[in-house]
Structure 1
Amino acid sequence: MVERRTTLGILAHAIMIVGALIVAFPIYLAFVASTHTPQEIMQSPMPLWPGSNFWESYQTALRGSSSSLTSTPVARMIWVSFVITMIITIGKISISLLSAFAVVYFRFPLRQLCFWAIFITLMLPVEVRIGPTYQVVADLGMINSFAGLSVPLIASATATFLFRQFFLTVPDELVEAARVDGAGPMRFFIDILVPLSVTSIAALFVIQFIYGWNQYLWPLIAATSEDMYPIVVGIKQMIGTGESVSEWNVVMATAVLAMLPPALIVVLMQKWFVKGLVDTEK
């Protein structure tokens, strides 16, 4: 039996609390800045307590400001980000499930070579292949569209690898039982493998949702009009350079609003996320 040591427990909790405070302080500072006027934010030192400009800042951000560097409402940016993120997330999970199913359960020449060819693409991030990808998207006429912003990002070698490892743990008896009952490959996939993979799908959904929500470089290139900017690109466009003036209260309010959807997904799916990671490791 492991002996419980009160001192070590208190020390561990103290370290975790300090770490949480360090991580949360910038978020708190962004929220405080969103509740003050631009003049109050520029004071030295900046106020560390919420101000009285909360509703004005968030209303201006949600409906868009004509005096800002971008007049696109944050509500529109959040909608664009949500649509792009859902396409990326669902697309990645669907393609990864099917590709892992093919690699594990179908016997065809060079099967392992195909898997490792998929896995090697982990070494080719978007930044490396962004030129050819942009050329293909432009030739297909998908620039400045939801398809152009999301489809090039839906392939995932990581998710394929994780689903492959999980499928390898499925007992062969299930395959034989399905074959005896007359179930074809897709029936076996839909009725047996997908329900068994629910926790892994949930864990990957959280990871891929955050991945899609935080996309910046590709949308910056593939979006040519402000009404197609996702929230991450929109925040950058609000920050002025040179002699232009930034409405920092609106910028901070937009940043706070941008954090809410992924934070909500993590909170709502925390149980499934943890269970999915544990089951995947098994």
Structure 2
Amino acid sequence: MKLLLRSLGFLAATVPCFAATKVATLHPLLADLARQVGGANVEVVEILKPGADVHHFEPAPKDLAEMRGAKLLLASGKGLESFLDKLRDSLGAGVKLVEVGEKIPSIPFEEHVHHHEGAKDADEDHDDHHHGAVDPHWWHSAENMKRAARIVADELAALDPANAAAYSAGAKAASKRFGELKSWAQKEIAKVNRKDRLLVTAHGAFGYFCKEYGFEPISLLGIGRSDDASSKHVAETIEEIREHGIKAIFPEDQANPKVLVEIARSTGVKIGEPLIADGTAKVAHTFETMLAHNVRSIVAALAPAAVK
């Protein structure tokens, strides 16, 4: 018996303990992506959790404590997390902060250009509300999520070269899944007539989605939820809804729908199911669940009844 115990003790001493790489994330979509790419080789700690407001979140001391021991901190980037410079000063030297979105092609936030029928000259024909900011909501695109998977795999491999092949395989599997989701979305969106592919929302969070699936975005407010719509902009949107026979307008899951409700009351246009704008909803905080919810909601509101 003593010999057996000594043998077991020897084995325990000689077999190395498996230590997963600790990864902290500042967005639920990134947490899910890290799990898909890293598998059993990573321990993911979600600092910004489902249900939180990504536009107003700032890490508290308890969040810094949760990050302790992490080798990698994943942020969305593109200016979404305004607190990153401050956070860098608080992180230890052993933590690498990666803004995943920085290596993904940006599109500018551009509010819709209102075109009015019967205008007398070029100045009356449109009112361009573009203010030049970068749209930070890059994860509404399947192609961008594929890029993000490769970025995460490369960062993990740099920290843990022994498992580089596993991370590469995880990124390829995730990319395949994202491609399948894109194909499904394209088939669903094909049910919506091209003339009806105008996506009217309160905030400019769907530029990447619209670019990937052939919609024209019409937003009343800016990128952040604190922006206010001018009465002129609201009036122009009401006019455009009437002129183009827009079928539905869409509130967002974590935003106040007050302006859209007022527009719906003025025009009689239908209010669609709230869309997941920031990917942090408790019911939809992975790319799969977010995209599926948004596509189904848009098709349900905009597709002809006969093909839904």
What TM-score, normalized to structure 1? 0.22
Kindly indicate whether structure 1 or structure 2 has the higher relative contact order, using CA contacts under 8 Å at least 6 residues apart. Answer: 1
What TM-score, normalized to structure 2? 0.21
Question: Which structure has more strand as a fraction of its residues?
Answer: 2
Question: Which structure has more helix as a fraction of its residues?
Answer: 1
